Amino acid sequence: MQFVARDVPPRQAYRLESAGVHPLLARLLAARGVGDPVEVEPTLSALLPPDGLLGADRAAVALADAIACGARMCVVADYDCDGATACAVALRGLRMFGARVGYLVPNRFTTGYGLSPAVADLVAAQAGGPPDWLITVDNGIASVEGVARAHTLGMKVLVTDHHLPGPMLPDAEVIVNPNQPGCTFPGKNLAGVGVMFYVLLALRAELRARGLFDASSQPRLDALLDLVALGTVADVVRLDANNRLLVAHGLRRMREGRMQVGLRALFHAAGRDPALASSFDLGFALGPRINAAGRLADMTVGIEALSTDDPERAAELAQSLDAINRARRGIEVEMREQAQVLLGALQEQDCDRASICLFSPGWHEGVVGIVAGRLKEKNHRPTFVFAPGSDGQLRGSGRAIAGFHLRDALDLMSKREPGLLLRFGGHAAAAGCTIGADDLPRFEAAFEAVARAWLSPELLARRIDVDGELDPRWFDASTAAMLQARVWGQGFPAPVFASRVEVLQQAQLGAQHLKARVRLLDVAAGPGATRELVAWNRNDFLPATARIAWRLDSNTWQGRTSPRMVLEAIENDD
């Protein structure tokens, strides 16, 4: 592991600090490309306008007409957290405007991903018969056959999605997707929930133009920003300025206690305080509990938790999601242990592989994505993990390192190996596919060939960007709280500092973690400066001395809050 110090443009840092930004925060934000003080605490007026999003205006007109005539609508969601929050935003937002709307979410294990012909049939078979409009959220851009089937059944289709399109777009009445051909909207990184939120913004503008209400009486869509924030962070989309604005205002509502009752219940189930809500809570506490429903059970539980207004019902659903997530963690631990054994055998055959591809007949298809992500992080290689599907085919989920576009890799493989990929889709960093039961060796060889061609030794070298030494005066709980309150995530990474330390004592913390007391070995910190350090998900003891990368965190025990270091990496620890 190599540490690389981030460059801090001095003029940008000085400009921020001169505007009153905390000196440490000014340096951290400047290193991440922020130079305008307006970006530090942006107002909602800075949000990119919806009129630049291709299809949003036509979607607004279609939905306004449908609401006016009492048309029935059905939202078809994806079964992850982005899809669940997008569905809840669609239901809540459309009902604010008087729409008659229900929903259906595909089952990972029976109907598969997205708007397939089978899902269109299920929508049409619901009570009351086929709805007038079928609205996809976080899916649909690749559903050519599903949209055609919906039309055959008498339904019009509005596709709202953010995934990359394939060679052919579905013949939907309206498509809203910032990544579709011809769309010049600069916010290309919107999550599925963000796209749906933008459709609602456009719809509100259309209804306002029709005289249904004015600016003072219009529905408050900012009440949905807590859900938008959760889905955006959980889907690990790039946190560009527009996404950071959405997340920041969603977190603000949570901290002020103005959130959906389901989110409040999830905070309680996770043992987190919403008054201190952070992007870490969304990504590592609430998001996994929603995702667990789609991985192991039925995402209906998650959508109901996010769309109910009954506190008792929300608490019950949140406890169910927590129990499902605990079961998911147990399955994950077992699969990760088995994966390490398989990986060890694979590396004995070829220690210089550029990719990882693993399969076991006993693995759970709902958990392969998490395991792929863990392996990718630990080994710094693009990774695919497969499990058997109920139809006898193999379901794979992949995660990529920087410099390797996973969906583009799958697209190239489909051209080089016709018939290999039965279905595929995704993003640069994460993607999924389905292959035949006997095609794993073929997939593994094709994946490795692309990885070797695309990844240079520099890209394959494990590295972590660090923010240098932390000035000792900022090592306190208040600074930790300040940093935790900011929006960090994909493309806008949380601060990671570097220090050379001597390990004075260390011990296991629970079954999978370490706790240590370390002394800083740099002069600036002063002689004998010692600190508490925790290393999550690490069983190996730390070396006597090391240069470490770490995050500033705080820990509250018996009413006292104190700062601590959280280990991220050890330099040259491969």
CATH class of 350-460: alpha beta
User: Is the confidence at residue 97, as pLDDT, over 90?
Assistant: yes
Report how far residue 364's alpha carbon sits from residue 385's, in angstroms, rounded to the nearest whole number: 10
- Tell me the domain boundaries of the chain: 53-257, 350-460, 464-570
- The pLDDT confidence band at residue 428, using thresholds 50, 70 and 90, is confident
Mean pLDDT value across residues 14-43: 96
pLDDT at 395 exceeding the cut of 90: yes
Helix or strand run (H / E) with residue 313: helix 311-349
Q: Which fold, 464-570?
A: OB fold (Dihydrolipoamide Acetyltransferase, E2P) (2.40.50)
Is residue 50 within 8 Å of 187, Cβ to Cβ? Answer: no
Q: What is the structure's pLDDT at 327?
A: 96
Q: What is residue 220's DSSP assignment? A: -
Using the predicted structure, report yes or no on whether residue 228 has a pLDDT greater than 60. Answer: yes
pLDDT at 523 over 70: no
Q: What is the pLDDT of residue 425?
A: 86
The answer to whether the 53-257 and 464-570 domains have the same CATH topology is: no
pLDDT tens-digit series, residues 311-322: 999 999 999 999
| CATH class as words, domain 53-257 | alpha beta
C-alpha 381: how far from chain center: 20
**Mean pLDDT over all residues of the chain?**
95
Q: 266, 372, 376: which is closest to 319 by C-alpha?
A: 266
% of residues, the chain, pLDDT over 90: 88
pLDDT per residue as tens digits for the range 98-117: 999 999 999 888 887 889 99
What tokens does 411 get?
Answer: 């697209």
Residue 70 has pLDDT above 90, yes or no: yes
- Confidence class for position 373, pLDDT limits 50, 70, 90: very high
Supply the pLDDT for residue 1.
83
The per-residue pLDDT for range 247-272, each reduced to its tens digit, is 999 999 999 999 999 999 999 999 99
Following DSSP, what letter does each residue of 158-217 receive, concatenated? EEE--SPP-SS----SEEE-TTSTT---S-TT--HHHHHHHHHHHHHHHHHHTTS--TTT
- pLDDT tens digits along 143-189: 999 999 999 999 999 999 999 898 899 999 999 999 999 999 999 99
Question: Does position 526 have pLDDT exceeding 80, yes or no?
Answer: no
pLDDT at position 528 is: 66
pLDDT class of 68 with cuts at 50, 70, 90 = very high
CA 134, 140, 141, 147 dihedral sign is: negative
